[in-house]
Amino acid sequence: MAEVSTYRLLDGKSASKAIRGRIAQEAAEVKTERARAPHLAAVLVGSDGASRTYVDAKVKACETAGFRSTLIELGADTTEDELLALVHRLNNDPELDGFIVQLPLPVHIDEEKVTLAIDPRKDVDGFHPENLGRMVLGLPGFLPATPAGIVELLRHYGVRTSGMHCVVVGRSNIVGTPMSILMSRNSEPGNCTVTVTHSRTRDLAAITRQADILIPAIGRPEFITADMVKEGAIVVDVGIHRIEEPSRKRGFRLVGDVKFDEVAPKCSWISPVPGGVGPMTITSLLLNTLKAAKG
Ligand code: GUN
């Protein structure tokens, strides 16, 4: 008899809806106390299609949660100095609780310089070294939105992680590296034994097959196949890619770093793309902005 797969979805859309409901309530309280709603600004430089979609989703999420939002769109020819001047202006704007500069930036702008220029108290993306350092030391601060969203997703579904082997694929500053730290922290979710893998890892599949929790964040469409995953694993897919498909109205479909259809039947839990980590990143951004507004 064929085995019936029994995986459960780590549904980021549904989790976000519940969490954002609570955020909206708290935002209303903040608005009553301070006579203004939490206020997030998003800066978009250039016209990258995917970045625009993400920024639009962030602005829309603010509206739904009763936040104020400001979208600042700059041309692709904006100079580094112009962007730095804007960052300084936003740092000093008393009406603004937090802001983000959507990445990637055009190649002529140094992302590190821009990130360093953001006031850590308004850095609701959690990308500034001060906030990353605070995370490492377990001090209060803003956690990077995507890794924090993954922790919230696991918490929402009551997934126990203590003592498990978590394998993170990718070592980026904004996902892989902070994710590995959050999963090893003495907290629940957390308390994992963590392995960080990357493009130079030898025999990657042998390591991913040992994962109780697998978190691919490599930016390669459908890279993780069924043979790389252990039976019963928990898989959280951070990737999101547009695959051209002219027959669709939008002209593309979205896939993650995981070949979902063949991997899902082996999993105990798996997050879909879209509707998994993406909405949770935005939910974390709202949580960080609310925190900034509360001071
Ligand atoms: N680009 C991809 N993910 C993110 C994110 O979480 N924040 C910003 N600012 N840019 C991104």
CA 266, CA 216: separation in Å to the nearest integer? 16
Measured CA to CA in angstroms, residue 74 lies from 47, 86, 198 at distances of: 9, 10, 34
Q: Which atom of ligand 1 lies nearest, measured to the CA of 144?
A: 6
CA 264, CA 256: separation in Å to the nearest integer? 12
Q: Would you say residue 131 has pLDDT above 60?
A: yes
Residues identified as active-site:
58, 102, 125
The finding on whether 281 has its CB within 6 A of some atom of ligand 1 is: yes
Neighbours of 169 (CB within 10 A): 29
Peptide bond before residue 274 is cis, with ω within 30 degrees of 0: yes
Cα–Cα–Cα angle for 144, 208, 159, rounded to 5 degrees = 55
Superfamily of domain 34-119: Leucine Dehydrogenase, chain A, domain 1 (3.40.50.10860)
Q: Which of 44, 53, 59, 102 is the pocket-test mutation for ligand 1 (most atoms within 8 Å of CB)?
A: 102
CA 134, CA 55: separation in Å to the nearest integer? 26
Mean pLDDT of 100-126: 98
pLDDT band at 1 (very low <50, low <70, confident <90, very high): low
Q: Would you say residue 255 has pLDDT above 60?
A: yes
Instruction: Dump pLDDT digits (tens) for 140-197.
Output: 999 999 999 999 999 999 999 999 999 999 999 999 999 999 999 999 999 999 999 9
**Domain 144-277, CATH among 3.40.50.720, 3.40.30.10, 1.20.120.450, 3.20.20.140:** 3.40.50.720
All CATH 3.40.50.10860 domain ranges in the chain, comma separated: 34-119
pLDDT band at 285 (very low <50, low <70, confident <90, very high): very high
CA 92, CA 176: separation in Å to the nearest integer? 31
All CATH 3.40.50.720 domain ranges in the chain, comma separated: 144-277
The residue count for the chain: 295
Q: Would you say residue 278 has pLDDT above 80?
A: yes
CA of 280 to the centre of ligand 1 (A): 12
pLDDT cut 70: percent of the chain above it:
99
**Residue nearest ligand 1's atom 7 by CA:** 102
pLDDT higher at 291 or 4: 291
Q: Would you say residue 279 has pLDDT above 60?
A: yes
